[in-house]
């Protein structure tokens, strides 16, 4: 068990606690497995990759047969059962036929009788486990009780972004062991991104292999300390808006070459962090607006890429098929993220009274581009404030319904909004969110519904 855990821990830093728990539960096939484990957490927390690695190590080092499938790909029960049978078959050429859960259970009993139950373990992992609720009514209850029905040392691992309480509307569900993978904090995220230093450095050296001068500078300048300083600056901009580690890894590698430019040109020393920050701050904030909407740079066109990028953002915004009210919710979220709450009355209430133009206020509004709210990045807001702005900018009267609130969840699922806290508390209004889209994107959404976004932004008043 220790060798399995240590092998997986090398691949997943900052997940030692979860790996240790999995090791205690299913790390030894000679001991009885629990009937079911429910592993849940947000996207980008490593659920799928960690489970795959753990099952792979169990299958390689122990007498364990493993199966891993994605419920999204199984649009019928029969397809799901045949995928499982294909992975769990004791030998090639065995019949892989199961039209329903009864046939599946009988097939497992026939293949792996009581004589082999004590010597072999079986691990089944189902990604996007919440999709099982939409299959035949007996699929989820049978999977959770599969160990009892087959008399095998078998464990079913369900992976999902939802807590298990969401499954309570299904009757006949047995108790499961729940394991939550929390989002990484800033220090953990930096540690994970920093673990790729050797790979990132080798890619940079390969990139400058034909330029001896730059290659020498890169070899000397790109140290682990230099890379960690860069990641610290990078996360100071991105961490509040995005916790998805794969997205952060891709964006960090993309922006590193910009951070390195003045060092390679000889205009800035690699140890001058303040000047490097002034150089990278603008590009980082620009990249923040497209964190979930990456646009690949055409290899043959480099000079006009900014124009191409803006045009692509416009096309993406115009082609985004959202419900009418969801578009206004998205606009309201952007306004809530980039306006101070103290300005809401002046912006959205018609008869807000006169405002005296004091000298301090005039000076405060004389902002440079670097200090504009739309450049500094999004701030968090509450559900109540979002709905208040939504009703203020929407001309027609709409009732507050579950359908309207569900559209907020849809925007989160599409990565247009992200939770900062209280993701399970949309209904009571205590959740806090951020808007992840940029100004150009939301202006195009505004044009689609005939709403002037700039008119309601403090930066442009």
Q: In what order do the strands lie in the sheet with 64-70?
A: 64-70, 121-127, 153-160, 36-40, 177-180
Task: Quote the CA–CA distance of 1 and 64 in Å, as a whole number.
Answer: 13
For residues 101-106, give the mean pLDDT.
89
Cβ-in-10-Å burial (0-12, 13-18, 19+) of 155 comes to buried
Indicate the range of 85-89, 289-293, 401-405 predicted with least confidence.
Answer: 289-293
Task: Quote the CA–CA distance of 279 and 233 in Å, as a whole number.
Answer: 11
Q: What's the Cα-to-Cα distance from 250 to each of 338, 359, 426, rounded to whole Å?
A: 26, 45, 30
Contacts of 21-27 with C-beta under 8 Å, sequence gap 24+, read 21/179, 22/54, 22/179, 25/155, 25/177, 26/54, 26/58, 26/121, 26/123, 26/155, 26/157, 27/1, 27/58
pLDDT for res 425: 64
For residues 173-201, give the mean pLDDT.
88
In 289-397, alpha helices (H): 305-319, 324-338, 344-348, 359-365, 373-376, 383-393
- Angle of CA points 423, 425, 428, to nearest 5°: 150
Q: Which two tokens stand for residue 335?
A: 């306004």
Q: In whole angstroms, what separates CA 420 from the centre of its chain? A: 13
Task: Quote the CA–CA distance of 148 and 151 in Å, as a whole number.
Answer: 5
Handedness of CA 384, 388, 394, 398 (dihedral sign): positive
Mean pLDDT of the chain: 80
pLDDT for res 91: 65
The DSSP line for 136-181 is -TTHHHHHHTHHHHHTSEEEEEEEESS-GGGGTTSTTPPP-EEEE-
**Would you place residue 460 in the very low, low, confident or very high pLDDT band (cuts 50, 70, 90)?**
low
| Pair type for strands 153-160 and 177-180 | unpaired
Pick the CATH number of 2-180 from 3.50.50.60, 3.90.1150.150, 3.40.50.300, 2.60.120.560: 3.40.50.300
238 neighbors 288 (Cβ within 8 angstroms): yes
Residue-wise burial string across 378-411, b where 16 or more C-beta atoms lie within 10 A, e elsewhere: bbbbbbebbbebbebbbeeeeeeeeebeebbeeb
To 10 degrees, the CA torsion angle through 260, 265, 268, 272? 30
**Would you place residue 212 in the very low, low, confident or very high pLDDT band (cuts 50, 70, 90)?**
confident
pLDDT for res 308: 41
Q: pLDDT > 90: what percent of the chain? A: 12
- Helices 383-393, 324-338: inter-axial angle, 10-degree rounding: 120
Q: pLDDT > 70: what percent of the chain? A: 80
The DSSP line for 248-317 is HHHHHHHHHHHHHHHHHHTSS-TT-HHHHHHHHHHHHHHHHTTTTS--PPPTT--TTHHHHHHHHHHHHH
Task: Quote the CA–CA distance of 196 and 256 in Å, as a whole number.
Answer: 13
pLDDT for res 39: 93
pLDDT digits (tens, 9 = 90+) for 3-38: 778 888 888 888 889 999 998 988 887 888 999 999
- Model confidence at 309: pLDDT above 60: no
Of 1, 3, 42, give the one whose Cα is nearest residue 420: 42
Sequence-distant (6+) residues with CB within 8 A of 59 are: 65, 66, 123
189 neighbors 160 (Cβ within 8 angstroms): no
Of 166, 121, 128, 171, give the one whose Cα is nearest residue 146: 121
The residue extents of the domains of the chain are 2-180, 186-288, 321-460
Q: Which two tokens stand for residue 18?
A: 């979860």
pLDDT for res 38: 93
* Helix, strand, or coil (residue 114): helix
Q: In whole angstroms, what separates CA 453 from the centre of its chain? A: 28
Q: Which two tokens stand for residue 180?
A: 């939550």
């Amino acid at each position: 068990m220790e060798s399995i855990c240590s092998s997986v821990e090398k691949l997943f830093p900052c997940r030692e606690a979860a790996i240790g728990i999995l090791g205690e539960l299913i790390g030894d096939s000679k001991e009885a497995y629990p009937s079911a484990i429910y592993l849940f957490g947000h996207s980008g927390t490593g659920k799928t990759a960690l489970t795959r690695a753990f099952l792979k190590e169990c299958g390689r080092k122990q007498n364990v047969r493993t199966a891993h499938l994605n419920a999204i790909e199984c649009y019928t029960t029969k397809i799901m059962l045949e995928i499982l049978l294909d992975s769990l078959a004791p030998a090639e050429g065995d019949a892989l036929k199961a039209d329903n859960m009864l046939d599946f259970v009988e097939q497992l009993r026939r293949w792996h009788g009581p004589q082999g139950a004590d010597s072999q373990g079986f691990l089944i992992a189902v990604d996007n486990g919440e999709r099982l609720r939409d299959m035949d009514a007996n699929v989820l209850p049978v999977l959770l009780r599969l160990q009892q029905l087959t008399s095998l040392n078998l464990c079913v691992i369900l992976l999902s972004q939802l807590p298990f309480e969401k499954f309570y509307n299904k009757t006949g569900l047995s108790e499961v062991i729940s394991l939550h993978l929390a989002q990484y904090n800033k220090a953990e995220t930096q540690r994970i991104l920093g673990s790729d230093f050797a790979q990132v450095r080798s890619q940079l050296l390969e990139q400058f292999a034909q330029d001896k001068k730059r290659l020498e500078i890169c070899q000397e300048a790109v140290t682990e300390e230099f890379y960690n300083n860069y990641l610290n600056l990078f996360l100071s901009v991105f961490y509040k808006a995005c916790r998805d580690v794969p997205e952060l890894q891709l964006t960090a590698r993309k922006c590193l070459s910009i951070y390195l430019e003045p060092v390679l040109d000889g205009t800035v020393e690699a140890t001058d962090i303040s000047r490097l920050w002034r150089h990278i701050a603008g590009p980082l904030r620009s990249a923040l607006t497209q964190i979930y909407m990456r646009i690949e740079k055409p290899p043959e066109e480099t000079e006009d890429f900014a124009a191409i990028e803006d045009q692509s953002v416009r096309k993406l915004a115009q082609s985004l098929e959202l419900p009418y009210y969801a578009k206004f919710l998205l606009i309201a979220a952007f306004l809530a993220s980039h306006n101070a709450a103290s300005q809401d009355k002046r912006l959205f209430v018609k008869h807000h009274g006169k405002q005296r133009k004091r000298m301090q206020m005039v000076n405060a509004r004389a902002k440079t581009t670097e200090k504009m709210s739309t450049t500094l990045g999004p701030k968090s807001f509450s559900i109540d404030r979002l709905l208040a702005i939504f009703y203020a900018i929407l001309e027609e009267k709409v009732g507050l319904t579950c359908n309207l609130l569900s559209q907020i969840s849809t925007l989160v699922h599409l990565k247009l909004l992200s939770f900062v806290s209280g993701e399970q508390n949309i209904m009571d209004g205590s959740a806090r969110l951020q808007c992840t889209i940029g100004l150009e994107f939301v202006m195009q959404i505004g044009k689609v519904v005939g709403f002037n976004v700039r008119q309601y932004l403090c930066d442009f008043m």
